[in-house]
Structure 1
Amino acid sequence: MPPKSPKRSKRAARTGKVGRETSLERRPSGSREERLSFLLLCEGKTEKDYFTGMRTWRGPQLAVDAPKCDHRSLVREAGLRRSDEYDEVWCILDTELDDQLVQDLIREAQKSEVNLALSSPSFEFWLILHTKEHSRPFMSARAAEKELKAIRPGWSKSSTKFQDFEDGLEDACTRARKLHDGEGLPPNPSSAVWRLVGAIRRGGE
């Protein structure tokens, strides 16, 4: 699902071009009131820690939370928390679910005007793409986690830090775009997190 257009007209002239910087810092352009704001609702602590690490004092404002609920409830929660306070609202979810449930999530998000960043089979695949290309399907989310641990021996779900992956962010976006454009049912493997990263980076310009 493509990101919703920002509500603030003073930002309407943004080019939409994804910058090459990985720091996510915006160019100095005036007051703090010009910063865009994002609400990110994550499935778990791993995702929350990753996106919390993206915060910079000159970048867009990121409100990051991980409500303890199922996928559908999380999307509904995002819809309920939409307000003029946020320019964009996103849910970051794994898709180790049957296709019908994923379709239901997509419809719910569209109805609630919420953006989805889906990863198949799990967010760990997005982290894998920071280090290498990978197009072979995974049997499960656990298999993706095992692969990530093999290429990042010091990694664990409880100690995920954006700074540990930042150098590979540009490569991850490029690799993820090649696998899937982010529309419709996500193939295994794929991750649409690159679309959220692009939105955040544009919000920092």
Structure 2
Amino acid sequence: MRRNRELDRNSRRGRSESPRLLIFTEDKYAGRSYFLGLKNQLRARGIDLGAEHGEPLNLVRSAVAKRDLAKRDPHTRYDEVWCVIDVEAPVPHPSLEDALTLARQQRVSVAIANPCFELWLYQHFEQVNGYRTSKHMAKALEELGRCNGYCVGHKDIQYSDFAPLVPKAVEHATALHSCVEANRHTNPWTDIHLLVQRIRAEHGCG
């Protein structure tokens, strides 16, 4: 019995040092590959990636359901839950506002890209200053020719192409926030860098 109590204390101590994060990505290729690669690079065992993908509202619902299920065991519960969501352009996701409302109610953090996740990827190489539709952003990333495995027809990536350039992407994303009026309704705009910085800082990367 004493040994079990010691294991519990050690487990709680370990959890306090390394918060457990659950991340759901809207797409099952580029977004998932990016955060899986980041997790593997940092050897971040406390990060789990959700298996469900799709439109924003169902994504948030799935994240809430997995979080609530994990709460039943103190060793598996999550300290933070994140959903990585695209606004899409020229027409935003119909369920976007409902998804954001549910996320606020359920204390789920949301990292947004306007128009899409490809904006964040592109910012590892160059800044995006003008309006882009989702289609144009994906095509621009493909034509850049620096993302192995990525094309408009199959949007997968290798994280190793991006890993050395994360600080540049953070710099570019931060610059989009320099305007007082800038927010998720602004195109281009993203706050994915906040999640990436959160993960990197937790594992000793500034």
What CA distance in whole angstroms lies between the structure 2 residues aligned with 1:197 and 1:153? Answer: 21
CA distance in 2, matches of 1:60, 1:153: 29
- CA-atom RMSD in angstroms: 2.5
Q: 1:94 aligned to 2:73?
A: no
The CA deviation string for residues 83-112 of structure 1, in whole angstroms up to 9 with x for no partner, is: 361111100111114387433222111011
Give the match for residue 47 of structure 1: 31
CA deviation after TM superposition for structure 1 residue 152, in Å: 2.5
Q: Point out the structure with the larger helix share.
A: 2
Which of 106, 109, 117 is matched with 1:112 structurally? 106
Structure 1 residue 134 corresponds to structure 2 residue 128: yes
Change (3 A) 1:60 1:190: farther
Q: Are 2:77 and 1:78 aligned?
A: no
Residue equivalent to 1:35: 18
Q: Please tell me the residue identity of whatever aligns with 1:180.
A: H
Displacement, 1:78? 1.1
Q: Which residue of 2 aligns with 1:174?
A: 171
TM-score, normalised relative to structure 2: 0.74
Higher relative contact order (CA 8 A, sep 6+): 1
1:196 maps onto 2:195 in alignment: yes
Equivalent pairs counted in the alignment come to 174
In the other structure, the counterpart of 1:25 is none
- What is the CA distance between 1:162 and its match in structure 2? 1.4
Whether contact under 8 Å (1:38, 1:60) holds in the other structure is no
| Structure-1-length-normalised TM-score | 0.75
Distance change >3 Å, CA 87–CA 76, structure 1 → 2: same
**Worse-superposed segment, 93-102 or 155-164:** 93-102
The residue type equivalent to 2:55 in the other structure is: D
How far off its partner does 1:54 sit?
0.9
Q: Identity over aligned residues, as a percent? A: 26
Checking the alignment, whether the CA contact within 8 Å between 1:180 and 1:187 is kept in structure 2 is no
From the CA coordinates, give the structure whose radius of gyration is larger. Answer: 2
